[in-house]
Structure 1
Amino acid sequence: MMSVESGANLANELIRSFLTLEKIDVNIFRASPVNLWKPTAGRFVFGGQVVGQALVAASKTVSEDHHAHSLHCYFLRGGNPNQPILYHVDRTRDGNTYSSRNIKATQEGVPIFTMQASYKTEEVDELQHQFTMPSVPGPDELKDSADFLRSQLNEDMPDNQRSLILKLLEEKIHVEKRPVNPEVYHHKEQGEPKRYVWVRAIGEMGSDVKLHQCVAGFISDLALLGAALQPAPRNYRPSYVTSLDHSMWFHNPFKANEWMLYEVESPQCGAGKALSLGRLWKQDGTLAVSVAQEGVVRTIQTESKL
């Protein structure tokens, strides 16, 4: 059984800060508001944190040899970062190969999020294939996202832009991001709705497969909907962006604290919503995780380019 509070895993601040849950009853777990994160540019609890915490709760109820192979979520209401979140796990099915869980997250008795997660035991089949990993510069050749933001600070920039960058730099999410094209990634330039960014969690995490999957749930929401905004002219800015649904498929084992390439594209955006698709690739070219998300994306036009 997975224990995110045990042993060497305490060295990982991401887990301690964002994915630690208190067991209330057999199938009920609580996230303290002390550990809930509202991003600087967001209005609610970070969606990836809710995904990761829900997967932590579900993973605590399945056998050691069952690992998540897929999850499907709906965000029903924005999470209040000042209120605890309760995760209720329904042990829908336990089979020899597959097990299923339904998870409902509530605040003050009101549902804010639902997830269906499916787990399976390891098996081997000779039939196998995968796409080819994109050829892009490696993480050692790229600048960290935080370093790029620091390089944008200058005395002539408007106070509101300086304040936003400083707030972003103060955020301690314990995840390193190295975008292949930082100018487009940070909306300094207009680009196509596709992005590549190397990501990894910071700190020791041990070898628990379930734990790495939960951390990947957190990381998976960091770069998705931003791809849909990249084609927008620079005098357009987002007025409201939030997740509607989120799905993940776990293909091969990985370590979330080792570099993975996050390939993200947005095949469609319009009518106030956008679809983004993502793939997490290990450095050796193995496809680890596939991701899909639809979200609300609304923009407004400003008088001048930012």
Structure 2
Amino acid sequence: MSPPQDLEDEQGGGDPPGDLRSVLVTSVLNLEPLDEDLYRGRHYWVPSTQRLFGGQIVGQALVAAAKSVSEDVHVHSLHCYFVRKGDPKVPVLYQVERTRTGASFSVRFVKAVQHGRPIFICQASFQKAQPSPMQHQFSMPAVSPPEELLSHEALIEQYLRDPKLQEKYRVGLNQIAAQEVPIEIKVVNPPTLGQLKEMEPRQMFWVRAQGYIGEGDMKMHCCVAAYISDYAFLGTAVLPHHWQYEVDFMVSLDHTMWFHAPFRADHWMLYECESPWAGGSRGLVHGRLWRQDGVLAVSCAQEGVIRVKPQDPKSNL
């Protein structure tokens, strides 16, 4: 991955006035060094499930791995497994193992530990920039730009004003509205209440970090994208079923990302998500993050456990 150049022109959207630094950089992904290749991370946002947000663990682990490589290499992929539930009451220790440092590629293994046991493991691979005459990519979907769409907050308010909204959806939307997530979201083609039973396992939304990050180190934008990539991702697999089943338990098993081109995580990117399969109490999702100029910046995939509450036989009568 080459360093970012002229991304203001490529992605569009200038920097906000002043230095309104993103909390993702100043707090969430700002690790405390304890020793060589040993870091401590604290928590910013804990979901209503009272488990640590997976995207935060992925982002912090990538920050730790990136600190062990030189400035002239950039992350091109990471492969992660969530092995235990994260405890939001205690910090997370990140242990980095320098598996390989090569002329072109370097590999780092990261283990996240709480209470003396690993809760998460990750392999991250870094590459020095190399030219390639062989290039291709899919075409970005044609969608409305973010400037023409409602903010996530305004969309939720619109749903809540509808008197026909079922109580279970009203409770869920109020919970979402109460969360202080450090990212901005604008949903593309949000469904109406009448379309909820006909949804496919696909969704698209514009997303960016709240606040200013700046060009800076491309690795930090990748760490922020890792945080962003886990938000609402696995839920894509639930979309065709949520009207029929109530989810009792949903948690990520693994998460993989590939970084293709430089980008700004504090500029709008289109997150295209789809779930090609669900079964066996698991769901699989694929995702693509597009820059506004149509460049495919990131690809990702995730599988997670999805368990539903037993149905009341009377509900089918």
| TM-score calculated relative to the size of structure 2 | 0.86
One-letter amino acid matched to 2:130: E
In the other structure, the counterpart of 1:279 is 288
162 and 238 in structure 1: CA distance in 2 versus 1, 3 angstrom threshold? same
> Which residue of structure 2 lines up, in the alignment, with residue 17 of structure 1?
27
Q: CA deviation at 1:183?
A: 2.7
1:47 and 1:231 map into 2 onto residues whose CA distance is 23
Q: Does 1:177 align with 2:188?
A: no
Cα deviation for residue 182 of structure 1 reads: 2.4
The 1:276/1:155 distance shift into structure 2, 3 A limit, reads closer
- Structure 2 Cα separation of the partners of residues 22 and 16 of structure 1: 12
**Mapped contact 1:223–1:264 kept (Cα < 8 A):** no
The corresponding residue for 1:88 is: 95
Q: Superposition pairs for residues 1-306 of structure 1, below 5 Å? A: 11-32=21-42, 35-40=43-48, 42-154=49-161, 162-183=170-191, 188-207=196-215, 208-232=217-241, 234-300=243-309, 301=311
Cα 1:256–1:165, aligned 2, differ >3 Å: closer, same or farther? same
Structure 1 SS opposite 2:191: helix
Contact residue 197 and residue 240 of structure 2 kept, 8 A: no
Q: Which residue of 1 aligns with 2:7?
A: none
- Give the SS at the match of 2:87: coil
RMSD (CA atoms): 2.3
Q: CA deviation at 1:104?
A: 0.1
Task: Look up the match of 2:8.
Answer: none
Per-residue Cα deviation, 1:181-219 (whole angstroms, up to 9, x for no partner)? 32379x945411111111111111121101000000000
The residue type equivalent to 1:17 in the other structure is S
Instruction: Verify the 8 A CA contact 1:235 1:304 in the aligned structure 2.
Output: no
Note if contact 1:184-1:190 (Cα within 8 Å) is conserved in structure 2.
no
Percent identity reads: 47
Gaps of 5+ in 1: 1-7
| Residue pair 2:282, 2:305 contacting (<8 A) in 1 also | yes
Number of aligned positions between the proteins: 294
Distance 1:9 1:109 in 2: 39
Using a 3 Å threshold, how does the CA distance of structure 1 residues 158 and 274 change in structure 2: closer, same or farther? closer
Supply the AA of the counterpart residue of 2:25: I
Structure showing greater relative contact order (alpha-carbon pairs closer than 8 Å, 6 or more residues apart): 2
User: Residue 9 and residue 231 in structure 1: after superposition, are their counterparts in 2 closer, same or farther (change >3 A)?
Assistant: same
Unaligned runs of 5+ in 2: 1-17
Q: 1:155 to 1:144 in 2, by over 3 A?
A: closer
C-alpha spacing 1:133/1:161, structure 2 compared with 1 (3 Å): closer
Quote the Cα distance in structure 2 between the aligned partners of 1:108 and 1:290.
Answer: 33
Counterpart AA for 1:210? K
Tell me the distance in 2 between the aligned counterparts of 1:138 and 1:210.
26
| Superposition TM-score, scaled by structure 1 size | 0.89
